[in-house]
Every structure is written in structure tokens, then in C-alpha cells.
Structure 1
Amino acid sequence: MKKTLVILLTILLSIVMYGCTSSGESEGAGNSSGASNDTGNNNEEKPTLTFGKTPWTSTVPPTEIAKKVLEEMGYKVEEKQGELGVVFTGLSADDVNIFMDYWEPQHKQYLEEYSDSVEIVSTSYEDADWGIAVPKYMEDVNDVGDLKGKEDTVNNEVLAIVESDPAVQDIPKAIDEYDLDMEMTNSSEAAMLAAAKEKIDEKEPVALFGWRPHTMFNLLDIKLLTNNKAPELFPSATVSVVANKELKEKAPEAYEFLSNWRLPIDDMEDMLVKIDEGKNPEDVAQTWIDNNQDTIDEMKGHQ
């Protein structure tokens, strides 16, 4: 009888111990699952970032480079094209997150208007010269003032890009300052360059709006005129990256990369020439990335 009782007690104790062990394992499995969920939260999908893109050629290389790097960092990227005013409206509403080609002082009025929601993140390059340009074969015209008395040789006009672009606002001011018998003729960038090229191919005098970096200096063999009488006009520009102020919180890694952004003006002009020669902009951007990986790593914060 005692032997039977001992056997029953042993069996009962085994059952209780097994139950405790099973419960502990089950709780452990639950904890493991919870840890897995935390890891998943740390690897949340990164947001889609939208770049503003104006019709200017100078917007293309930096946008293509930044897009490719951010894609490698795990971001999805999109583009919204439009004139500068449209881009800044998008930036202010956070429909556009990033714009790679903000020129100051030319575009300062837009940044001031939307300063509550848009900020400068970094500087790409400085000393971007701009103003009235003429072909180099116009050897006796080197300053805007030299056009005085020769207005009819350039058809009494300065060819320029669209009138809504703030960059051209100094042209009428220069015409008035030098009392030139000229007017500003506005069109798209492509139309302006085509009209100037037609004149230059015939070795005819022409005056147009010019800025660096741009392929026009390679394509047309032109020179920018000095502005000795009114040096406050056409001051050298600083070109920067601007973004919606929510970007830092929305995409901190992307913000860090862009805050360290830099792109030498000589590299810009070299890429623009290659694109103008017919090379694919994405391929040109990728070549720059491949040749400047150390710089990219520095801009990414050695990630």
C-alpha cells in the first residue's frame, strides 16, 4: 500500500513540474515574439521623398545625384516639375520635400515668403556669376556700358529667360542704369539659347542673359560683361539646397546627408556639358558618384 502511494505521489509531482516548465517555456516564447516585434519597428520603411525640379539645366545634376544616393540609403524618391514659384508652393505645403537649386540673391524673395516652412539646408557652391553676356568676337564690348551707342547692332534687345524668374529682374535695371535703348525679350531657356545660337552661327552681335554653371559658355563661346557703373546689379550667387522644415524629423538620415551636401561648380559645369552632348543624366550622375565615393560617405556622415 505504501509502495503504491509513493508511486502515485511521484507521478503527481512529475505532472506538476512538467506543467510549470511548459508554462515558463510558453512565457519565454511570448517574450521572444515581443522582441521580434520591436526589431521590426526599428526597421520601419523609410518615407518617400519628393524633389522639386525646375526647367533649368542646373537643377538636373544635383537632383540626379541626390536621388541616387538617397535611393541607396533606402528612400523612395519622386519628382515634381514646375516653375520656381510652383516648387516653393509645394515646399511650403510639404508636397515637395527638397529643392537642390536655390540661388541667392536671385530667389531670396521666395525663401522670405515661405520662411515659416522652408529652410536652407546646405550650400552647393558659391561665386556663381551671372548677368548680360555677348559673344567673345564682340571684342569692343566688355562692360555693360560698352553697349551704349551699339544697341541697334544687337537688335535693341537682351534675350532672356521667362519674365517670372526673379533672376532676370536686374536686366531692366541695368538697361535703365546705363540709359540703353534696349528691351528685355523673354522666352524659355531653350528658346533663348536657340535664338542666340542662330545669331552667333552667323557671327552677328547678340546680347543675352547668361549664368554659370551652364553649357552656354561651351556651346556659344560667350563672355559675361562686367558691370562697373552699377556693381550692386548681378552680384555673384550662392547656390544652396532648401527643404521643408519637417524633413529633419521625417527623414533624419536624408537630412544629415543633405546638410553636408557640396558640389563644386567646375564639376557641375563638366556634367552639364556631358548631358548637353547627349549622355544620359542618370549615367552622368552615377559616374560622379563612383568617382567621388569618399565625398559621398562624408556627406552621409560615414554611414
Structure 2
Amino acid sequence: MRKIVLSVMMASILVFMFGCGSGEEQASSSNGESDNQSNEQSPEDSENKDQTITFGVTPWTSTVPPTEIAALILEDMGYTVEQTKADVGGVFMGLSRGDLDVFMDSWFPMHQKYMDKFGDKLDDTAVSYPEAKTGWVVPAYMEDINSIEDLKGKEDMFNNKMYGIEKGASATKESNELIKAYGLDIKQVNSSEGGMMAQATRQIKQEKPVLFFGWRPHTMFNKYDLKILSNEKGFFETSSVHVVTNSKLQERAPEAYEFLSNWSISIDDVEEMIVKIENEDMDPKKVAQEWIDNHQDKVNKMMGK
């Protein structure tokens, strides 16, 4: 009888122990699943992360209108948009590293060196507008100066100075190469776009000789009667302005990439908007929205509608 009782007691203990162990294993399995779920991003969270589009913005007036228009359209498409200011070298570096997604104001062939340097990390996505002229500029009242060749022997008219933009710009390097190629007794004086224009404006208002770097689109051609000097050595070829993106944007945000790949705008429209922002002190976003409202058919086409 004792043996029977002992056997029953041992069986009960074993059943109890098996039941506890099984319960702990199930609880552990359940808790593990819960932990894994809490550590994983939901599809919605992942999508929201990929919805942020970051623009690189150079300190050029020509960069602002296209950037603001594209930003407003992308926001309307449901993206979050950020803007990061940097010089052009910093913008291309940011694009290559993935810190930036889009640059709306890349000038070709001037910026081709960055495409060559960073290779397949960048994507030449669209032509914003073709035939943007750049080069050394003088006021139209300087009737005897029409080409770079005309400057030779007359450098002292300009106090042997040519005013340029920031030192890191591709145009600055090309201007220095031009000076060397033509053997000009001229020194390039570099500053910001605003600083350069302040120097030029002072001279123009007094109808004095002045030599500086110019490009379209820019308000300088609306404010003053200017001419871009021709040259026989091929410096400052007519440029086309492109949209450049990080090469991973197409996969990460395909709808945004599709819109940007269809992007185009006229140089006259950009220049008109620059005038409103710079001369009339209008808010850039308001100017951009006005353009969108007046060009809805074009916007729809860029969005693939």
C-alpha cells in the first residue's frame, strides 16, 4: 500500500514539474515574440523615415526658386522636406554620402568634375533649363570692351581687379585659369555673391569701369545693362542647369524621383522669381506657390498625371 501511495505521489510531482516547465517555455516564447515585435519598425514607421527628402542649397539666388517649388510639390505629395545650406563642394559631398538627396542647381559642364569624382553615388536626374550663360561681365557703357581679348593691355582701367564669387566655386577656378591662359595682369577678388554685386553696383552707379563674374538667371541683368564678354579659348561655355540626386533616391523614394526626373522650368521664369524675392522682398515660398498656381498643367505633367 505504501508503495502504491509513493508511486502516486511521485507521478503527481512529475506532472506538476512538467506542467510548470511547459508554462515557462510558452511564456518565454511569448515574451520573445513580443520583444522582437517591439524592436522591429512597423511598415508605417519605415515608410515615414523614407519620406524625408533633403535638399542641398547653395548661397546662389538661382538655387532658391527651383528648390522652393520642388519642396512645395513634394510636401503636397506627402513627403517631409528639409533644406541644408552649403557651398557647392559641400552639397556634392553631402549627396555622395547620402546626407543630402537633391540639388536643383547644378551647372554643366562646370560641375561635371563632381560627377566624375563621386561616380555612381550621384544621379544626373533632369535638365532644369538649358543655355544658361556665364562669364566675365562689364557694363554696356564700356563700348570698347566686348571680349576677353579686349582686356589685354587695359587691365589698369579696372585697377587690375576682377570681382568673383566664393573661393570654393568652380567659376572661381575657371576664372583663375582664364587669367593665366590670356596672361592678364588681373587679380580675382573673391567674396560672396552679395559682396561681389555690392562692389559692382558701386562702380556701375558712377559709370566707372568694372569687371565681374555674371550669369543668368540673376537680377543683375534686370537691374543693369550688362554684357558677357566673349572669348576665343572656350572658357565659360554656355551651361545647362541640371537636377542631381543621390543615386539611392530612386529606390528609396520612387515617386519623388519620378517627379524630379520630369522637372523643367524656363530660365525666364527663374529670373522673374529671383527679381520678386530679391528686389520686391517677397517670401520665397509665396513666390514659389504663385508659380505653381499659374503653371498647374506643367506641374501635373512633371508629376506624371
TM-score tier, shorter chain, comes to 0.7 to 0.9
Displacement after TM superposition at 1:150 (Å): 1.7
Displacement after TM superposition at 1:108 (Å): 1.3
1:134 aligns with 2:149: no
1:205 aligns with 2:209: yes
CA distance in 1, matches of 2:49, 2:109: 38
Contact residue 46 and residue 76 of structure 1 kept, 8 A: no
CA distance in 1, matches of 2:137, 2:49: 49
1:98 aligns with 2:105: no
Contact residue 174 and residue 233 of structure 1 kept, 8 A: yes
> Which segments of structure 1 move beyond 6 Å, counting only runs of 4 or more?
39-45
CA distance in 2, matches of 1:43, 1:135: 53
1:291 aligns with 2:294: yes
Aligned equivalent of 1:269 = 271
Aligned equivalent of 1:118 = 122
Cα distance change of structure 1 residues 47 and 223 upon mapping to structure 2, 3 Å threshold: same
RMSD: 1.9
Question: Normalising by the residue count of structure 1, what TM-score does the alignment of the two structures yield?
Answer: 0.83
Aligned equivalent of 1:249 = 251
Displacement after TM superposition at 1:274 (Å): 1.1
% same residue: 48
Aligned equivalent of 1:69 = 73
The one-letter code of the counterpart of 2:84 is K
Aligned equivalent of 1:15 = none
CA distance in 2, matches of 1:286, 1:174: 40
Q: Secondary structure at the match of 1:114?
A: helix
CA distance in 2, matches of 1:92, 1:176: 32
Q: Deviations over 1:108-129 (max 9, x none)?
A: 1111111121111100011111
After the TM superposition, which residues 1-303 of structure 1 pair with which residues of structure 2 at under 5 Å, given as runs? 47-227=51-231, 230-277=232-279, 278-302=281-305
Q: Deviations over 1:216-265 (max 9, x none)?
A: 112232211111xx342110111100111111111111111000000111
The one-letter code of the counterpart of 1:181 is D
CA distance in 1, matches of 2:111, 2:181: 22
Question: Normalising by the residue count of structure 2, what TM-score does the alignment of the two structures yield?
Answer: 0.82
- Range moving further from structure 2, 64-73 or 213-222: 213-222
CA distance in 1, matches of 2:258, 2:250: 8
Structure 1, unpaired ranges of 5+: 1-38
Cα distance change of structure 1 residues 109 and 42 upon mapping to structure 2, 3 Å threshold: closer
The aligned length equals 263
CA distance in 1, matches of 2:286, 2:44: 35
Displacement after TM superposition at 1:174 (Å): 2.3
Cα distance change of structure 1 residues 191 and 45 upon mapping to structure 2, 3 Å threshold: closer
Cα distance change of structure 1 residues 43 and 108 upon mapping to structure 2, 3 Å threshold: closer
Displacement after TM superposition at 1:145 (Å): 1.1
Cα distance change of structure 1 residues 40 and 175 upon mapping to structure 2, 3 Å threshold: closer
Contact residue 107 and residue 167 of structure 1 kept, 8 A: no
The one-letter code of the counterpart of 2:301 is E
Contact residue 140 and residue 146 of structure 1 kept, 8 A: yes
Displacement after TM superposition at 1:193 (Å): 0.4
The one-letter code of the counterpart of 1:200 is I
Cα distance change of structure 1 residues 88 and 142 upon mapping to structure 2, 3 Å threshold: same
